[in-house]
Structure 1
Amino acid sequence: MAAKRPLHYSLFGPLLTCIALLFSHSAVGWERLRSDAPERYEVVRGDTLWDISARYLRSPWQWPELWQANLHIRNPHLIYPGDILVLGSCQGMPCLLLERGQGVVKLTPQMRTVPEREAIAPLPMEVVRVFLREHRVLEEGERLQELAYVVGGDNRRLISGAGDTLYVRGELPARTRLGIYRQSDPYLATDGAPLGTELIKIGEARYLSSEGDIARVEVLNAYQEVRNNDILLPFESREQEEAFQPRAPLNHVSGNIIAVPGGMRFIGRLQVVAIDLGTQNGIQPGHVLRVDQQGELITDPRTKERIQLPETEAGVMMVFKPYNHVSYALVMQASNVLAVGDTVRAPIK
């Protein structure tokens, strides 16, 4: 952007003030803005912070830097439908002004008394929630044989459904609700090393009683027929939205897309992928990774040698559920169709 955008302060009078939606002076300057960034934008229901930031920044994952000065708010990402963002200049640097109600107001350390469900989410949370309800990873080192499993149903049923009673063998906490899971494909590193096993949730059950190592549970709901050898586990703790604040990993990690849950071959925006990086690599919820694709293998027209062209950046993803050696991530941008085997690494800041 060659010239700084002027802001007509006379439109709003003395109520106009540079608020906490301020670009970091050291990290985000005019060169980081999109050339078509809007002067004004009204937030609408269905927006995410990533969507909004993509209208202003070349790298939308850097959106926390827009809120960097507002550190005293418990959740500095509270923006609501109907809010209007105004792009201007604050002390020579780009900043966003928030117009709310009759004029432009300053975000203060006080939170608005608005139900949190109305606030703009950082990313499409429903995609993440649905996936977390239906998928999890059995960590490498956790023995499948040691988990509680279905050994039978009432009246010698081999297949059970909602309302049926199951008999489960193994250690089972006396919790009200349990997940019923079926083993799926193993996750393997590019060198073939095992990283974990995908478990698919097929239903929910309620603990009733136990005698010795056999427990009775009632099937509350089932998406598929429950069979002998299916696994019962307590639910995982849910990630809070506050955990999905994007940032680059602290170290220079590098790995690969190893699977697409559901068995799809090609990957686009808002699809979930499994990568061979986890907490032991320093990966945390909210970490952003860029996706690089291998360059084309071509023949040199003079020497006739086969040469590999350099990798090219093809997408951006955000980790939302890391395990020890594998993580689930949501593809936020894809300039090309992504595929299993593509490289993932820390983004260039």
Structure 2
Amino acid sequence: MRSSKGLPVLLSFSLITTALLSGCASERPPVNIVNQPAPDGLPLGATRGPVKGTLTPEETKAQFISLKANEYTVKKGDTLWSIANHFLKDPYYWPEIWYDNPEIKNPHKIYPGDKIGIMYIGGKPRLGIAMRPHIRYETLPPAISAIPLEDLKPFLSYDQIMSEKQLESAPYVLANRNQTTTTSFGDVVYARPALTENSNTFSILGKGKPLVDPVTGDFLGYRAIYKGQAEVMHRGDPTTLRITKSAREIMDGDRVLPVISEPFNKDVTPSIPAVPIDAVVIDIPDAITQVATYQVVIINAGSNNGLVPGDMLRISKPGQIVSDKYTTNPKELAKNAEPEGFEIPSPPRVKLPDFPIGTAMVFRVYDRAALALVVQTKRPVRIGDLLQTPTAD
């Protein structure tokens, strides 16, 4: 059960044992990831503690950058995470540390002009609305959102993750009136089969690269890349459309789909996933090698894994695997010895610990993949980085 006042209780379920490496000496697993699973089903050297359900007063205090921080006045353009990062070291603890002050109307919503401060409740420091100057008015300004909605508009309204069947069955741009290779704003295009939806406004999407789960090798779908928007001029087969918005060059073969009507729920409650999530960044849209704060990543976990919009995940760099050239432990050397006929044993390989670098918030969820916003990071986030349920340190 999720709650805006605390972290959800961890639901237990069996974990799949990680596939083990095999083969020649150069492919042997590190010595701290041995061929026997730990009691919790994870390889040795990759254990994780339980999800923290309730912070003690000492742990709560440790989450604050400073317990003497002055009150913060919310400004237009602020987001939940800009405020969380002002006070907290780890913003994913916001749901437990935020205090729904009963003396404030709608304390779970934050408005420009509100003063956020530190208060002690039951001996624990908490964050809450210390004063709402606008309470005397019947109409408040729009509440701030958890994330910068304007920056994410293409991902919230247009970009999608689609199966090959969904893409192949969608209507497509057959040709354009000018008979050019590409089209853009103001040009006229023709689509087949006939567009039968009631809507007169359609998105034009290009087929992105296939998304593949690096752990299982499973195909997860394609990123359907938003290229523009078009209005119906004349219905029929083919349907005539005029390009009214152009974000990228539109080409013959691009797919034509109704504009997504499902808006992002800006009032979504930030939460810790109710189940352990162990995901990997598989794509970084509109970036070459890395992304930073307030940019988007695609991960190989979705609703089938228990994710919902608003879930917060810890971003970590996977520990490298290094050769230990200095060990004299005979068991390790024997375990990694070369085949018979070679006198010099190879050094054992050791996996260094993963280390956290930031936090991400899931905002759009598909069956086996999800889009997440990096809300805080100390280092650039790259493909292969880990996104996991925050655990007790």
3-state SS, counterpart of residue 85 of structure 2: helix
TM-fit CA distance, 1:156: 4.1
Return the match for 1:148 from 168, 171, 179: 171
> CA 1:91/1:158 → structure 2, altered by over 3 Å: closer, same or farther?
closer
Residue 40 (structure 1) shift: 2.4
1:10 corresponds in structure 2 to none
Task: Determine helix, strand or coil for the equivalent of 1:242.
Answer: coil
Q: Structure 1 CA distance, aligned partners of 2:80 and 2:202?
A: 34
Report Cα offsets for 1:52-77 as digits up to 9, x if no partner. Answer: 22333332123233455458999643
Deviation (angstroms), 1:163 = 2.9
Paired-residue identity, %: 29
Unpaired segments ≥5 residues, structure 2: 8-52, 329-346
Distance in 2 separating the partners of 1:188 and 1:73: 47
How large is the RMSD of aligned CA atoms in angstroms?
3.1
Residues 27 and 149 of structure 1: CA distance in aligned 2, closer, same or farther (over 3 Å): same
DSSP-derived class of the 1:63 partner: helix
SS of the equivalent of 2:301 reads coil
| Contact 1:178–1:235 under 8 Å retained in 2 | yes
Superposed displacement of residue 319, structure 1: 0.6
Counterpart position of 1:185: 209
**Aligned match of 1:335:** 378
SS of structure 2 residue aligned to 1:144: helix
Q: What secondary structure sits across from 2:223 in the alignment?
A: strand
Q: C-alpha offsets along residues 15-36 of structure 1, whole Å, 9 cap, x if unaligned?
A: xxxxxx9999954635323151
Q: CA deviation digits over 1:142-195, x for unaligned, max 9? A: 342211001122254553333333211025213121111111211111043211
Among 70, 90, 93, the alignment partner of 1:62 is 93
Match of 1:32 in 2: 60
Deviation at 1:346, TM superposition (A): 1.0
What's 2:185 paired with? 162
Q: Distance in 1 between matches of 2:132 and 2:176?
A: 59
Asked if the contact 2:73/2:116 (under 8 Å) is kept, the reply is yes
Within 2, Cα distance between the matches of 1:128 and 1:339? 19
| 1:99 counterpart residue number | 131
Aligned residue pairs: how many? 318
Task: Give a deviation string over 1:218-246, Cα, whole Å, max 9, x none.
Answer: 22122334321111111122212012x21
Q: 1:208 matched to which residue of 2?
A: 233
Query: Aligned pair in 2 of structure 1 residues 335, 83: CA closer, same or farther (>3 Å)?
Result: same
Q: CA deviation at 1:209?
A: 3.1
SS in structure 2 at match of 1:295: coil
Contact 1:23 1:93 in 2 (8 A): no
Q: Which residue of structure 1 lines up, in the alignment, with residue 46 of structure 2?
A: none
Larger displacement relative to structure 2 (245-254 or 296-305) = 296-305
CA shift, 1:101, in A, is 3.6
Contact 2:357–2:377 (CA<8 Å) still a contact in 1?
yes
Alpha-carbon displacement from aligned partner over 1:189-225 (angstroms, at most 9, x marks no partner): 10432111112211111123333x4222222122334
The answer to which structure, 1 or 2, has the higher relative contact order (CA under 8 A, 6+ apart) is 2
**Contact 1:206–1:218 (CA<8 Å) still a contact in 2?**
yes
1:338 aligns to what SS in structure 2?
coil
Deviates more, 1:314-323 or 1:71-80: 71-80
More strand per residue: 1
CA distance change for structure 1 residues 336 and 186 in 2, over 3 Å: closer, same or farther? same
Judged with a 3 Å threshold, the aligned counterparts in structure 2 of structure 1 residues 97 and 271 are, in CA distance, closer, same or farther, namely: closer
The equivalent of 2:21 in structure 1 is none
Name which of structure 1's ranges 177-186 and 37-46 shifts more when overlaid on structure 2: 37-46
Counterpart amino acid of residue 61 in structure 1: Y
- The correspondence of residues 43-122 of structure 1 with structure 2, limited to 5 A, is 43-67=74-98, 69=100, 76-95=107-126, 96=128, 98-101=130-133, 113-116=139-142, 119-122=143-146
Could you say if the C-alpha distance between residues 30 and 48 of structure 1 is closer, same or farther in structure 2, counting changes exceeding 3 Å? farther
For structure 1, the 5+ residue unaligned runs are 1-20
Q: Which amino acid aligns with 1:36?
A: S
- Identify if the C-alpha distance between structure 1 residues 229 and 72 changes in structure 2 by more than 3 Å, giving closer, same or farther: farther
Output the TM-score relative to the length of structure 2: 0.72
* 1:222 corresponding residue in structure 2: 246
Contact 2:186 2:244 in 1 (8 A): yes
Change (3 A) 1:329 1:171: farther
Q: How many Å separate the matches in 1 of 2:174 and 2:284?
A: 31
Rounded Cα–Cα distance in structure 2 between residues aligned with 1:61 and 1:320: 14
Q: How far apart are the structure 2 equivalents of 1:55 and 1:155? A: 54
Partner of 2:42: none
